Structure 1
């Protein structure tokens, strides 16, 4: 699997309503990954408008700051 970039979770935006992290994609849309996916060990965020993916770099304790 080829990823476009590796991004620290601190550089992403968290939306508490959608319970997801977002990061701007070069195509103009946003990469997105749900916090539940991150908790389950899935660290790839995808863009819904193009085929790019990013790897989200984080530690499990980083997610404690984003409890529901």
Structure 2
């Protein structure tokens, strides 16, 4: 069964704050994806207020660049 997501968003459009990747949701809240889940390979962020989800689009290089720009050591983040 194919998953439906409200939108597909480039990783570069996401913000990183308090261990969460975030993007504005039309309901007024924010889509959220735990940094640890992102590092582990998850690519779907969910809004905690409504039922919408977004798919985060990125290549392996874009993911590594995003983590480096935000001073995230993937090995430490996964171990935490």
Coarse TM-score class (shorter-chain normalised): 0.7 to 0.9
Mapping of 1:21-40 within 5 angstroms?
A: 21-40=21-40
| Among 53, 64, 71, the residue aligned to 1:61 | 64
Q: Distance in 1 between matches of 2:12 and 2:45?
A: 14
Q: TM-score, normalised by structure 1?
A: 0.85
Which has the bigger relative contact order, CA under 8 A and spacing at least 6? 1
Higher helix share: 2
Q: Deviations over 1:5-62 (max 9, x none)?
A: 11011111111xx211110000111000011111111100000011100001123313
- Structure showing greater radius of gyration is 2
Q: Which residue of 1 aligns with 2:11?
A: 9
Which of the pair is proportionally richer in strand? 1
In the TM superposition, structure 1's runs of 4+ consecutive aligned residues that sit over 6 Å from their partners are none
Give the Cα–Cα distance (whole angstroms) in 2 for the partners of residues 58 and 35 of structure 1. Answer: 14
Unaligned runs of at least 5 residues, structure 1? none
Gaps of 5+ in 2: 74-80
Across the aligned residues of Structure 1 and Structure 2, the Cα RMSD in angstroms comes to 1.4
